[in-house]
Structure 1
Amino acid sequence: MKLTLQRTAWAGSLLFLLIWPNPGQSADDRSADLILGRWLFPAKQSSIEVYRSGDRYFGRIADVSGNGRQQFGIVKNQLLISNLSFNGTGWSGGKLVHPKTGDHFDVELKLRDSKTLVARVYKGCRWLHKEYTLTRQSS
């Protein structure tokens, strides 16, 4: 009788753990999501909105300045960055599409602090890159 009661208690505890709802995002997910939001380009006239879909991060044009439209062919809601994944320290493995030429570049993003995002853009060779500093757009 005592053995049956112990097995029942153990099985009940195991069942409880299996059906207990997931408490939410893991610490890695929360760290990865620090990039979410709107970021201003260096000229601070146009912005990009970074969002998450599944475990990947994307960036679309949120606001466009007249200069950005004329000089770079930027259009609102245009997908600019795709398929970034969080590697524990930054976001990599993504592609950036140049709005005017349609050329594809590799892109990596890294938070310098909560208000500063550094984008490293390159084609093939990492050491031949260009860096852009974006600032978080205030609400």
Structure 2
Amino acid sequence: MTFVESGFPQHADLIRGGSVDAVVTAEPMLGRMNEASIGYVVTPMVSNFERPLPIFYYISTRDYAKTHPEAIAKFRDALKRGVAFAEANPEKAKAYIAKFTGMPPDLANRIPMPQLMTSSDRPALEETIKMMREQGMLRNSVDVGRLYAQ
């Protein structure tokens, strides 16, 4: 298997044109591809995890985190408040998704809300790295201790 990096908005065109055989995508691209009958869902990636895992991480350099602890704390607080708002107000959250992504509001209303997470633990990062190595997405060893900060 060969992984090819591409932007999420290009996934439908890549499948339709035969440039790739499969994509790992997310909403709203997945919903649009399903509506247009472009390919089919082989497996829902995130729901197959043994436990909830973040599908992305926010990263900064160690130097920035050390010299700007207040900014890091404010960023984390903003994420927590944003997730709390979205969970309490899913309709408003979808309206914001439509507004800030340019997605048609009717499409934003049809996509399922993702499981929003504001933190990760070290075992989750280790599990993510293990999966990436097994899939050939990482060639070198990764020292989780140097990456993970709480």
- TM-score relative to the length of structure 1: 0.20
Larger Rg: 1
Which of the pair is proportionally richer in strand?
1
Which of the pair is proportionally richer in helix?
2
- TM-score relative to the length of structure 2: 0.19
